[in-house]
Structure 1
Amino acid sequence: MSIGSILERVAGFKTKLVCITGGEPLSDKDTPLLIDELLDKNYTVLVETNGSYDIRTIPQKSIKIMDIKCPDSHMSHLMYWQNIHYLMKSDEVKFVLHSRKDYDWSKEVIEKYRLSDITNVLMGTVFDAIAPRMIVQWILEDNLNVRFQLQLHKYIWEPQTRGV
């Protein structure tokens, strides 16, 4: 789909907030151009990235939401850790937890990089892997400065639904 087609489609939704996500948006070299076009049209642009690509390609005026892949995802080795230095206070990092091991590892990463001091930190659960209440309990016990979230699309649509 061309940038022009995307802009046309977005304009039809009558919103000024656009979230670019799905797969890995930074794997497409045209994503920064699309973001610039949306920003030029006064959209607020959120960009969800898996953290494996250099986020400096994302225009500054957009909001970066970067996953930090936990060990149970078997993807943490793909993290581009330098990205943490390019985050701003308006950005977010997100940990999606599968186990207590992921939680403990996330706590160490938050502390090591002082993430709560430099950006917004979110924690959530892999759908149906661990009870959300359990993670909230751990967060409260440890007094973590994070925001809890759910993978809402898994609750709104069938969990296996793609493209929503």
Structure 2
Amino acid sequence: MNFYDTVKQFDDGRMLPLVEEFYTLQGEGYQTGRAAYFIRIGGCDVGCSWCDSKLSWNPEVFPPVRVDEIVERAASFPAKAVVVTGGEPTLYPLDYLCTELKKRGVQTFIETSGAYTLTGQWDWICLSPKRQQPPTEGIHMMADELKVIVSTPADFEWAEENAAKVKATCQLFLQPEWSVYNQIIPAIVDYIMLHPKWRVSLQAHKFMRIP
């Protein structure tokens, strides 16, 4: 079974290839510091060389899990907030997951590259676009947050290309790629001082040594 055949088996969205789930503090972007339940879904063909979740790329590695079970666990934690990430979560229909979480009073947040059509009901959409597989038409105007990963100074141009497409209320963040943090953070600091519409996002969870 190839990658896309594997993805197609989740057509109704009542089962998903679950990589991991855990309760922690959000470590990046606008929501940094908030407690939330993270649901990481397997499967990604975007292929960022610096990805720190490469284990999630192959959905065949992760047996299908019933969404009802995932929802029950997520709703049992004090913070009624769920972050759906991946992999690339938009590979799957997420309407059922969101509907069931909403029934239990849980806020829904997603982080996506925008490479595929977004489904589901979201309280917060973080768009983190990638050059090698750009976002689909229309996703920029849905984003509440634009978070661009910066590994070289050339990424500032990519950041501006995407910032030109989002709505005026979208929060803009530049995030240093972790493996080159020391080398790239001075350039990010200088850039934001010259272009103050941007803010810096640090991977705070890595500094705190939490999931």
> What TM-score do you get using the length of structure 2 for normalisation?
0.61
User: What is the CA–CA distance in structure 2 between the aligned matches of 1:97 and 1:141, rounded to whole Å?
Assistant: 16
Gaps of 5+ in 2: 1-64
Which residue pairs with 1:37 in the alignment?
100
| Alignment counterpart, residue 20 of structure 1, candidates 80, 84, 92 | 84
Q: Compared with structure 1, are the counterparts of its residues 97 and 26 closer, same or farther at alpha carbon in structure 2 (3 Å cutoff)?
A: same
Instruction: Give the partner amino acid of 2:177.
Output: V
Instruction: Give the partner amino acid of 1:49.
Output: T
User: What is the CA–CA distance in structure 2 between the aligned matches of 1:95 and 1:47, rounded to whole Å?
Assistant: 15
Cα drift, residue 47 of structure 1: 0.8
Contact 1:65 1:94 (C-alpha < 8 Å) held by counterparts? yes
Percent of aligned positions that are identical: 26
Cα drift, residue 141 of structure 1: 1.8
CA RMSD of aligned residues (A): 2.2
| Alignment counterpart, residue 66 of structure 1, candidates 121, 124, 127 | 127
User: What is the CA–CA distance in structure 2 between the aligned matches of 1:8 and 1:78, rounded to whole Å?
Assistant: 34
More strand by share: 2
User: What is the CA–CA distance in structure 2 between the aligned matches of 1:2 and 1:67, rounded to whole Å?
Assistant: 27
Instruction: Give the partner amino acid of 2:76.
Output: G
User: What is the CA–CA distance in structure 2 between the aligned matches of 1:117 and 1:147, rounded to whole Å?
Assistant: 15
Instruction: Give the partner amino acid of 1:43.
Output: V
Query: What's the CA shift string for 1:79-138, capped at 9, x where partnerless?
Result: 1341345415xx111101001110133124324x2x361412111110031343431221
User: What is the CA–CA distance in structure 2 between the aligned matches of 1:103 and 1:19, rounded to whole Å?
Assistant: 26
Which residue pairs with 1:140 in the alignment?
193
> What TM-score do you get using the length of structure 1 for normalisation?
0.76
> How many pairs are equivalent?
145
Contact 1:51 1:83 (C-alpha < 8 Å) held by counterparts? no
Which residue pairs with 1:161 in the alignment?
none
More helix by share: 1
Instruction: Give the partner amino acid of 2:134.
Output: M
| Alignment counterpart, residue 53 of structure 1, candidates 112, 116, 135 | 116
| Larger relative contact order (Cα-Cα within 8 Å, sequence gap ≥ 6) | 2
Gaps of 5+ in 1: 70-75, 159-163
